[in-house]
Structure 1
Amino acid sequence: MKKFTITEEYSFDSLIETKITSNHKDYLSWPIVYFLKNKKTKSAYVGETTDVLTRISTHLKSEEKKQLSSVNLILSDLFHKSATLDLESNLIKYISADGQYALQNGNLGISNHQYHEKKVYWDLFKDIWDELRQLGITRHSLDYINNSDLFKYSPYKSLSKEQIKGLKTILNCLLDENAKVSLIHGGAGTGKSILAIFLFKLLKTNLEDFNYADFDEDDEELFLLLKRVKDKFKDLNMALVIPMASFRKTISNVFKNINGLSGKMVIGPSDLAKNNYDLIIVDEGHRLRRRVNLGSYFGTFDTNCEKLGLDKFTASELDWVILQSSKSIIFYDQYQSIKPSDTLKDSFKKLELEPHTRVEKLKTQLRVRGGNNYIKLIHKIFDESLILPSETYKTDDYEFYLFDDLSQMVDRIKKKDKLHGLSRMVAGYAWEWISNKNSEAYDIIIGENQFKWNSVSVDWVNSTNSIDEVGCIHTTQGYDLNYTGVIIGPELDYDFTSRKFIVDKKKYKDKNGKNSIQNEEELLDFIINIYKTILLRGIQGTYIYACNENMRLFLSQFIQSSNSFTKQNSLQISNTPSENSIPFYDLTIAAGSFSELQELENTKYIELDDINSKDDYFACTVTGESMNKIIPNGSICLFKKYTGGSRNGLITLVEGRNVTDIEFGSSYTIKEYSSKKVTDEEGWHHEEITLLPKSNDSSFKPIVLRDEETIDFNVLGIFVRVLK
């Protein structure tokens, strides 16, 4: 039975309170969520309340809210205050990234607290989202949004305690007459970019757009600081400076879709000479340049220095930031400086010691699921001053493997991309970019493997051909990936005699990255920083292939071999269950229902040691080519038993009297699930269920079940992965 109701669309006018009272009197003092919108202007507002009439009355008095024309209420007897706060936050985060509507909401008070049965309400949210898509209020699937730039770099985020502390430092710096610069240190993945974007949106949001009735203690303190800043500066003339052109373009596109922001607010360092600003926020400050190896940029650099009255031989873009702003906030990581043209570390150290500078540090890893332990491992491996790890890194939370076979790593990345998206190959700059001038040529040739460098320089990770290409530091720095396959090129090796990394300058092909460097130790530092940076891109996993044998041997001391997960290809199948086994069903011999199949005496079992709740899983063989984009013919696959919640967009094992799949068996099939629901006086029911093939063979067609055909139909399991 349906657990929630999305009401009809009510006109947002003076009659709405009467309509709500008449139609929903049981929910007048009950926790609910609502969605105000204007379909023409594509502006909207998400809210939650326990007093809907008072909240609606307040909105009707707001000049900005009065521009909205209709409202839907989301009602459920299961709602409580924590649940509606959570639902409101999720709707704000996902609707803002869906791109259909620009939200008027402020970005303080985005809830992320824990409460009883939070997972249950997440499943409920997924069902609500599916219905919002049916109603045309939202467009994209949650999986699609999760991989989108609009979601990853959205200002509608719940900040960590550490980020909140940094934000308070910044706001206090803005209020402090003696403070001019906030210097925020943070390694890759500590949330620097998110905090920069969050802050920009925060300062550009009207105070009335914050729902401060539900603020917690941190939110209240931030709001009071923000109010003081706004009282002091009124409307701040601001810019977000991003040195890297590709990442700058990405964030500019994000700003275009956020209410109150504009893509023009995101600028490059070269634009700084054009205007003075009340506040300049710099993301990736370590990539601000000085007058070294600038190529075609020398002219612009010199002109700007002259315009600003600076000595071009000693000045840097960091000086431009300080000179052109009343206040500046600079996010910086010395370990992501990758070229001689980057502003020297000494310049930032000098700035840090200035009496007008306030300093804060971000330490907690927010990107990589391996957490701080993975970050420490990467630094221990590549920073020779630290003690090397004493054992191989193993965790259930993160896939980190060393490959001996590059082809296997490429294959693994492509499989991950099909399953999760945003999985890419990235390499050190050890090969010439030949394909830039000859599109037929290959740049990277390693054994029988041939690759081209990125065919586009801007937003490569999201480009059409990126899965078949290899990116570099310049196309990935600043970006999040789900999985990264890193090729450590022949320019970097390890010498076991001296116990040091060594660099072959001739094999390093970034001319602007090496031409002015005489000291190979300096070049080595840059190259090490490059690899550390790209090794911290992958959210769910990182794979490594090293071209040099000594480097592979060195890394094998600390990183699991890829062979440790290919052991899945030699599954242990037995006739008796054990503590670490799951049932392995042969659906092709099933004459009865799935429940009867589970009681057969000849059930076999597969040993698995990498899942916790064995009772929640089972395995079966998938035959045929209808899902071969994801599941090869004859694969043994792991499934999680279906216990409820949204199935849309998931690969499911289903059973039904009206399911006929000649490949798999009379009453079973494995397909991607999609459904349409309708609501009548008896509640909701499926109008249509579509089971979609995912095959390279276009002759496979969807299985469509309508009306009564959907009744005798069961989802048995959700596909997890291929075991063999």
Structure 2
Amino acid sequence: MLGEQQLAVDLVLHAVEQARQADSKQVIIVTGGPGSGKSVVALSLVGELARRGRAVLHATGSRSFTQTLRKVAGHRAPRVQKMFKYFNQFMSAERNSLDVLILDEAHRIRETSVDRYTRAELRTDRPQVDELIAAARVPVFLLDEHQIVRPGEMGSLEQIEEYAKSLGLTSRHVHLGEQFRCGGSEEYVLWTKRLLGLAEGGPVPWPGDPQFEVQVADSPEELERLLAGQMERGYSARMTAGYCWSWSNARDDGSLVNDVTINNWSRPWNSKSDRRVGDAPPAPLWATEDGGFNQVGCVYTAQGFEYDWNGVIFGPDLVWRDGRFTVKREANRDPDLKNTKKISDIRVDLLIRNIYKVLLTRGMVGTILYSTDAETKQALHSLIKTK
């Protein structure tokens, strides 16, 4: 563990002992960009606190992330698997029943835990953040505000701090400033945020970085071929895209429909199933199991994961016009973004930019970009000079 990562761990461990001795409660918030080590901090805390005999659980709002953690960390240990929960599993938790609740990917916290499966007696307007704070003496929120990608997600630093303050609780904030994913290239993450209009200064040409490679493909066939070449060299690779194509259910025989169609090239989205479908891995394990390269992943299956080489397809919902990226809401097919009465154009604009920011920052060695829009592809070529 390095720098602020160790600081965050030490802060939580100290807060836990302080809360136990003083019978008090404290909220800790850890922020950082993709690959800054939030999940390293989270899993280190789970292991250390469990060894110390403290009551600790880990929770996320991501089915893919939670199931992967259960499989990897809980391999051959059902007791460990039970330590990994979802945010909506604390609706009826006893107050302060845990010493620590580690809330990884906390930018995915929702307004309430209620969904269509919630039992009638649990259906209330209680905020999900209230349930999570109440469940532990030291709730620890780990988040990246630029990864809020769905309507109803509200896990920002300001929101959590304000809610803790409204409860009369103190909160501590640690920012993980280092960038360990993307080959350690802080330059690439900042460049991506400026490219998408998520940071001041506007788009600039990619300056290059010996630790990270960025390329532009002229067709989906070229994108796939370049990534396949990296896999032949022993690297891992995946293709992702904006949600701009329909997403069909599997056929009766279990085969996947080639929904992502660009000219003569087509591939299926990742499987919706929790079980392997032919060569396609289960949906939660698309990013980590063999066979995932043959499907296109969306933000909901890619978020929280990393692979060596990252291929990103810009769909028609984000195009380059007049020197910057412009969101075309009508081109997006995500059902969560369709309700124009409940979700404003301004909100959708930010969510779509955040979605592409997540997709663009999954790679550890390099990223290859392709756009279905000719003007956008030309702009990407002008910004990224491939050696």
TM-score by length of 1: 0.48
Task: Measure the CA separation in 2 of the matches of 1:398 and 1:473.
Answer: 22
SS for the counterpart of 2:287 is helix
Q: Tell me how far apart the structure 2 counterparts of residues 341 and 560 of structure 1 sit (CA, whole Å).
A: 39
Residue in 2 that maps onto 1:527: 352
Match of 1:542 among 340, 353, 367: 367
Q: Tell me what 1:510 maps to.
A: 334
State the partner residue of 1:471: 297
| Structure 1 pair 349–526 and aligned structure 2 pair: CA distance change class (3 A) | farther
Cα pair distance change 1:436/1:289, threshold 3 Å: farther
Given the superposition, is the C-alpha separation of residues 510 and 437 from structure 1 closer, same or farther in structure 2, using an over 3 Å criterion? Answer: farther
Which residue of 2 is the match for residue 426 of structure 1? Answer: 240
CA distance, structure 1, for counterparts of residue 39 and residue 73 of structure 2: 13
**1:551 has 2:384 as partner:** no
8 Å contact from structure 1 (residues 291, 316) kept in 2 = yes
Find the counterpart in structure 2 of residue 493 from structure 1.
Answer: 319
Residues in 2 aligned to 1:318 and 1:435: alpha-carbon distance in whole angstroms: 33
Asked whether the 8 Å contact 1:426–1:487 carries over to 2, the reply is yes
Cα drift, residue 281 of structure 1:
0.6
1:356 Cα deviation (Å)? 1.5
Task: State the alpha-carbon separation in 1 of the partners of residues 43 and 149 from structure 2.
Answer: 23
Equivalence for 1:484: 310
- Other structure's SS at 1:328 match: strand
SS at match of 1:431: coil
Does structure 1 conserve the Cα–Cα contact (< 8 Å) formed by 2:28 and 2:139?
yes
Task: Select the residue among 151, 159, 184 that pairs with 1:340.
Answer: 151
Q: Find 2:48's aligned residue among 202, 212, 215.
A: 202
Change (3 A) 1:169 1:440: closer
Instruction: Determine if contact 1:201/1:261 at 8 Å carries over to the other structure.
Output: no
- Relative to structure 1, the CA distance from residue 244 to residue 390 in structure 2 (aligned partners, 3 Å threshold; closer, same or farther) is closer
Alignment partner, residue 591 of structure 1: none
1:260-303 Cα distance to aligned partner (Å, 9 max, x none): 961100011222135332211110001112259x8xx3342875
Please, what TM-score do these two structures have when normalized by structure 2?
0.86
Q: Is the 8 A contact 1:173 1:358 kept in 2?
A: no
Amino acid at match of 2:80: S
1:444 is aligned, of 260, 274, 279, to: 260
- Which structure 1 residue ranges, 5 or more long, are not aligned? 1-158, 206-229, 565-724
Structure 2 residues without counterparts, runs of 5 or longer: 272-281
State whether structure 2 residue 18 is matched by structure 1 residue 182.
no
The 1:254/1:454 distance shift into structure 2, 3 A limit, reads same
1:417 shift after superposition: 1.8
Determine the structure 2 residue equivalent to 1:705: none
- In structure 1, the residue matched to 2:59 is 241
C-alpha spacing 1:513/1:467, structure 2 compared with 1 (3 Å): same
Instruction: Give the number of equivalent residue pairs.
Output: 364
**Offset of 1:349 from its aligned partner?**
4.4
Measured in 1, the distance between the counterparts of 2:35 and 2:224 equals: 24
Cα distance between partner residues in 2 of 1:291 and 1:437: 34
Mapped contact 2:60–2:104 kept (Cα < 8 A): yes
Partner of 1:325: 136
For residues 544-599 of structure 1, what are the alpha-carbon distances to aligned partners after superposition, in whole Å with 9 as ceiling and x for unaligned?
001112322333333234xx3xxxxxxxxxxxxxxxxxxxxxxxxxxxxxxxxxxx
Alpha-carbon distance between aligned partners in 1 of 2:79 and 2:16, rounded to the nearest angstrom: 20
Q: Which structure has the greater CA radius of gyration? A: 1
The residue identity in structure 1 corresponding to 2:229 is K
Paired with 1:417 and 1:434, the residues of 2 have a C-alpha distance of 28
Q: Is the Cα–Cα contact under 8 Å of residues 30 and 140 in structure 2 kept in the other structure?
A: yes
How far residue 495 of structure 1 moved from its aligned partner, in angstroms, is 2.1
Residue equivalent to 2:83: 265
Helix, strand or coil at the partner of 2:383: coil
Residue in structure 2 matching 1:366, options 156, 180, 190: 180
Distance in structure 1 (CA, Å) of the matches to 2:72 and 2:83: 11
Aligned-residue offset at 1:203 = 1.3
SS at match of 2:283: coil
Taking a change above 3 Å as real, the CA distance of residues 165 and 302 of structure 1, as seen in their structure-2 partners, is farther
**Higher normalized contact order (CA 8 Å, seq sep 6+, divided by chain length):** 2
Cα distance change of structure 1 residues 460 and 446 upon mapping to structure 2, 3 Å threshold: same
| Matched residue SS, 1:165 | helix
Q: Once the two structures are aligned, what percentage of the paired residues are identical?
A: 23
The CA distance in 2 between the partners of 1:344 and 1:281, in whole Å, is 14
Q: Take 2:297 and 2:199, find their aligned partners in 1: how far apart are those partners?
A: 29
Residue 384 to residue 195, structure 1, CA distance change in 2 (3 Å):
closer
- The verdict on how the C-alpha distance between 1:180 and 1:392 changes in structure 2, with shifts beyond 3 A counting, is closer
- Do the aligned partners of residues 429 and 279 (structure 1) sit closer, same or farther apart at CA in structure 2, a change above 3 Å counting? same
- Alignment check: 8 A CA contact 2:108 2:155 kept: no
Q: Secondary structure at the match of 2:357?
A: helix
CA distance in 2, matches of 1:556, 1:349: 42
Q: Let me know the Cα RMSD of the aligned residues.
A: 2.4
Deviation sequence 1:383-408 (CA, Å, 0-9, x none): 25511354333222212111222211
Which residue of 271, 275, 284 corresponds with 2:105?
284
SS of residue in 2 equivalent to 1:290: coil
Q: Distance in 2 between matches of 1:352 and 1:492?
A: 36
